[in-house]
Amino acid sequence: MFIYKLITKYLLPTKKSLSASFIALLSLLVTSTVVWLLLVFLSVTRGIETNWLKKLTSVHAPLRVYPTKAYYDSLYYKADAFGENEKKTLREKWEESDSEKKNQPDLVKELYWTLQDLEKTGSLHFQDYECSPALLRLQLLRKQSTSQISQMSYAVSFPQKNPTLSSILLPPSSNDLAYVVSTLRSKEALERFFLHARIEKGWLKKGSGFSWKLLEKGSYPCLCKKNGSIEQIILQKEVGSFSGFEKATLVIAKRSYVKIGEKICDLSPKTMLFWGQNAPCQIVVDQTSFQEATTVYDLRFFATTSFNGTVFSIPVFYQALDQVEFFARTTFHKKPKTAPLWAYQVQNLWHLPQGPDGATQAVILPKSYQKSHVFLGDQGHFSFIGSSFSSAQEMQLPLYVAGFYDPGMIPIGHRCIFTSQEITETIMGSSAHLSLDTAAQNGLFVWSDLHKVDPLKREIQKRLQEKGLTKYWHVETFREYPFAKELLAQFQSDRTLFMIVGIIMIVVACSNIVSMLLVLVKEKRREIAILRSLGASKTSIGAVFGLVGMILGALGSVVGTLFAIITLRYLDSFIAMLSWLQGKKAFQAAFFGDSFTYTLSADAAVFLLILTPVASLLAGLIPAIKASRMNPSKILRS
């Protein structure tokens, strides 16, 4: 009890022990600052790593199973291939009739059955993947110019069963939709577009005109130019930059007219009204206008706007609209009869659409293409060397950009292009394509919880072993992917390094606590002697100072943790401030991703919340031992 009473007294600042109080406050400040900085730093780096892993395993799955050399050398693989071009993919092997191979194990089907059994337990989802190298060529047809983009790429079959695909696919932006609608050249394509997209709002362009007959009854302030008869009426209250115009009142009634001062001028049926400035409006497409439309510029829209407190709807063409904001629907409960022009999800499955012509295969590009001004709706082709019995020649497969995805910072991420299996199979079927390692070419992606990947790998291997198929299949977790291995190892060593730096920083912070406690012991030596004369043991005296150190450390870590939580909550503002101070972006999105994590790293928090008080307790031991070894008799005599 006296220990608690003494600790309370020693921790509370008093006038008598100003120096100890000041050092205690300083120790608290240093410890909490160190904990704060370390926690923010470790949380952010942990967040970057988690985001990166999430992206990696969203694009490539956390586990993959692919054929070994033994599989490709097996009779099973070679048996049904008359020539190189006929060699079958895993999917084709799975889908083929098994009537011909009754006397030998079906290597692919056994694997599929193994995974299907595990899928039924809910521990995984799987899908085959195919990857083929090809040259991507995109033609960017713009109003001002036409350009081309060419890049050697990996055409990867679209992993539609991937449960995390939604987290990396970017929804079609309004700009993308505005572009794609402007490229459509048929009534069917326009109908298809507007079936799944709508214009949320936009602006009526300044200077766009419409008939006065569309206005509701009432009187409206306007500007009017008159030269004998009325030449122009502008719907605007103030004259502003319109020289030669006079303020007037437009009256829409049984007899519609314009009143300029005291003069009244009747409106002719052909008199047009013009907008004096851009006017915000709600826009809906006129469904009847599809009949004769071949481009979006042929369509009519109803723009609902208000002027002078009166709401009215006027029919306009696309040209009269500005800053149109599109919105696209991407999720459906059941498969739509007419697919949208972008990737869409039906319940848990994602689908790739065909192009506006209904035949061109779609591709989903990494978001880096957006920086090269590629839009949804752009077209191009995959180019690859195809072979026949006598020659090799360049072949082209037309393609259509149906969306973008965020690949994270995987080294090969910006070269992976999702496309349909028809395309990957066609390219793979060509014997002259650039060969990839067998792992990357064809296999099965297996999705599961990241933390359960290792036991899942063991389970799959065990089941394959029971069937005697181990030598035909290689099971690999994301940690073993050749393109990710080094980066993951780097993350691991960075984390170890940060932990070591963290420990050193905490030890340095604790040296303050040692100084503070040494001052306190010196100040309280008379009290120590009195307490010893009253029966306090050496251990209890030591415990007082040790615990003061530990409490200071614990307080510092709690305060630091609270500050870290607040900092992480307002991290964007903090980074914006850093960027403003530097005059350039503080963190590059290419490396760190578009946004930082805002969650405190639980591992780091637990580590620091344990380490700091323990280190402080250890730091308190030196003064504690000093206090306990004091000779009370000597002190009391002095």
Partner 1 sequence: MKTIEVKGITKAFGSASVLKGVSFHASAGSSLAIMGSSGEGKTSLLHILGGLDSFDKGSIHIMGKDLAKDPLGMRRKHIGFIFQSYQLLDEFSLLDNILMPFFITKNTSFVKAHERAEALLQKVNLHKKKQQKAALLSGGEKQRAAIARALMNNPDILLADEPTGNLDRQHSEEIYDLLLSCAHELGKTVVIVTHDEQLASLCQEKRLLQDGLLR
Residues near partner 1, by CB under 8 A: 1-2, 5, 9, 14, 16, 526-527, 529-537, 540, 631-633, 636-637
CB of 542 to partner 1, least distance (A): 14
Nearer to partner 1, 9 or 217 (CB): 9
Q: Of 17, 11, 12, 21, which Cα lies nearest the Cα of 545?
A: 11
Nearer to partner 1, 340 or 632 (CB): 632
**How buried is 583 (Cβ within 10 angstroms: 0-12 exposed, 13-18 middle, 19+ buried)?**
exposed
Q: How remote is the C-alpha of 130 from its chain's centroid? A: 25
CB of 568 to partner 1, least distance (A): 40
Pairing of strands 416-419, 146-157: parallel
Give residue for tokens 């206008």.
Answer: 289
8 A C-beta contact, residue 155 and residue 303: no
CB of 26 to partner 1, least distance (A): 22
Nearer to partner 1, 19 or 496 (CB): 19
**How buried is 460 (Cβ within 10 angstroms: 0-12 exposed, 13-18 middle, 19+ buried)?**
buried
Q: Of 256, 258, 195, 193, which Cα lies nearest the Cα of 232?
A: 258
| Number of neighbouring beta carbons within 10 Å of residue 490 | 11
8 A C-beta contact, residue 207 and residue 319: no
Nearer to partner 1, 1 or 75 (CB): 1
The token pair at 518 is 């040494």
Cα separation, 630 vs 635, whole angstroms:
8
CB of 55 to partner 1, least distance (A): 60
Spell out the residues 6+ positions from residue 611 whose beta carbon is closer than 8 angstroms to its own.
502, 503, 506
Please give the C-alpha separations between residue 268 and each of 212, 253, 256, 258, 498, in angstroms, as whole numbers.
9, 13, 9, 11, 80
Nearer to partner 1, 2 or 297 (CB): 2
CB of 513 to partner 1, least distance (A): 22
Nearer to partner 1, 268 or 633 (CB): 633
Nearer to partner 1, 440 or 624 (CB): 624
CB of 13 to partner 1, least distance (A): 12
8 A C-beta contact, residue 455 and residue 103: no
Nearer to partner 1, 9 or 373 (CB): 9
Please give the C-alpha separations between residue 532 and each of 190, 313, 539, 636, in angstroms, as whole numbers.
93, 93, 11, 10
CB of 12 to partner 1, least distance (A): 9
Q: Residue 186 region, left (φ>0) first, then alpha (ψ -120 to 50), else beta?
A: beta
Nearer to partner 1, 474 or 524 (CB): 524
CB of 602 to partner 1, least distance (A): 40
CB of 477 to partner 1, least distance (A): 58
Classified as helix, coil or strand, 364 is strand
Nearer to partner 1, 1 or 359 (CB): 1
CB of 7 to partner 1, least distance (A): 12
Classified as helix, coil or strand, 339 is coil
Q: How remote is the C-alpha of 3 from its chain's centroid? A: 53
8 A C-beta contact, residue 307 and residue 279: yes
Nearer to partner 1, 118 or 529 (CB): 529
8 A C-beta contact, residue 406 and residue 367: yes
Spell 301-330 as b/e; 16+ CB within 10 A means b. Answer: bebebebeeeeebbebebebbeebebebeb
CB of 531 to partner 1, least distance (A): 7
